[in-house]
Amino acid sequence: MPLNRCSKCGKVPADGLKNCSGCHGATGVYCSSQCQKAHWKIHKPMCRPIGPDDVWGIKILDNRHQPWSCQFEHVVLNTSHPIFTRGELCPVTEKCGYPLVIYSDSIHGGIPAQENNQPAVYLRIEAHDGFAPMRWQLNEPGTCYVVRQDRQPLTKEAIEIIYNFHSYLLDIVNPEFAVNGHGPWRQALSPEWLKSFADEYRQDEISREGRLGFDFFP
Ligand SMILES: [Zn+2]
Ligand SMILES: [Zn+2]
């Protein structure tokens, strides 16, 4: 699926987007060389051509690889991978307009795992009560995979923000709010809420950690 916005700033320039020559535009298209340069740190690990049936996703390693910042890895998944038929929609991401699909080697693939996967369980929480389904709580999910439902490339930075958004939601869960029909939070889950969280998170990382290269998201 061709990218239709600048991978760095999200703009759609009138004179068209330029493909990154390294990946032929598979994960990088830009409005300007400034944007391309500013995005390189994020883009580099995904800068290679992929086949028409390939999708960039994220592999979430199990908890032996903690902390979570060490658990996310870029991965190319062929559309024959079972995530595309048996994966589960992550409910919070759907409500927030950035639907992700998750697949567990253990829960869906029948590959027994002895290790939990905390980021994966967080991503799987239900939007109405903030709990992951019992099969995610009682079984060890082991290695998991995540892709965007629209099969656009999923970056490590995006999954980092979304994971931290889930973590934040779990911190502020209050069952008393669940009665009003929008889940156990003071306000309804929405793309605006995720976006404001993402903007704040990014600003924090840039000013506190000096990190560069966060791309347009969502
Ligand atoms: Zn741009
Ligand atoms: Zn590239």
85-134, pLDDT tens digit by residue?
A: 999 999 999 999 999 999 999 999 999 999 999 999 999 999 999 999 99
**Statement: residue 190 has pLDDT above 70:** yes
Phi and psi dihedrals of 64, rounded to 5?
Answer: -65, -15
Going from the Cα of 83 to the center of ligand 1, the distance in angstroms, rounded, reads 31
**pLDDT beyond 70 at 30:** yes
Residue 51 has pLDDT above 60, yes or no: yes
Q: Which ligand is nearest to the CA of 34?
A: 1
Quote the CA–CA distance of 154 and 54 in Å, as a whole number: 12
Sequence-distant (≥ 6) Cβ neighbours of residue 4 within 8 angstroms: 12, 17, 29
Residues 6+ apart with CB under 8 A from 200: none
Q: Tell how far the Cα of 8 is from the centroid of ligand 1, in angstroms.
A: 5
CA of 27 to the centre of ligand 2 (A): 6
- pLDDT of 1 > 80? The answer is no
Indicate the pLDDT class of residue 10, thresholds 50, 70 and 90: confident
Among the bound ligands, the one closest to the CA of 50 = 2
pLDDT at 179: 78
Whether the predicted pLDDT of 5 surpasses 60: yes
Find out whether 174 and 186 touch, Cβ atoms under 8 Å.
yes
Around ion ligand 1, which residues have CB less than 5 A away?
Answer: 6, 8-9, 31, 35
What is the distance in A from the centroid of ligand 1 to the CA of 75? 25
> Using 50, 70 and 90 to split pLDDT, how confident is the model at 215?
low
Average predicted confidence (pLDDT) for the chain: 92
What pLDDT, on the 0 to 100 scale, is given for residue 46? 93
Q: Which two tokens stand for residue 18?
A: 């330029």
**Residue 191's pLDDT band (boundaries 50, 70, 90)?**
very high
Cis link prior to 141 (omega < 30° from 0)? no
Residue 211 has a pLDDT of 80
Residue 162 has pLDDT above 80, yes or no: yes
Instruction: Give the closest ligand to the alpha carbon of residue 43.
Output: 2
User: Residue 42's pLDDT is what?
Assistant: 86
Ligand number with the minimum distance to the CA of 215: 1
Q: What protein residues have CB closer than 5 angstroms to ion ligand 2?
A: 20, 22-23, 28, 47
Q: How far is the CA of 51 from the centre of ligand 2 (A)?
A: 14
How many angstroms is it from 95 CA to the middle of ligand 2? 31
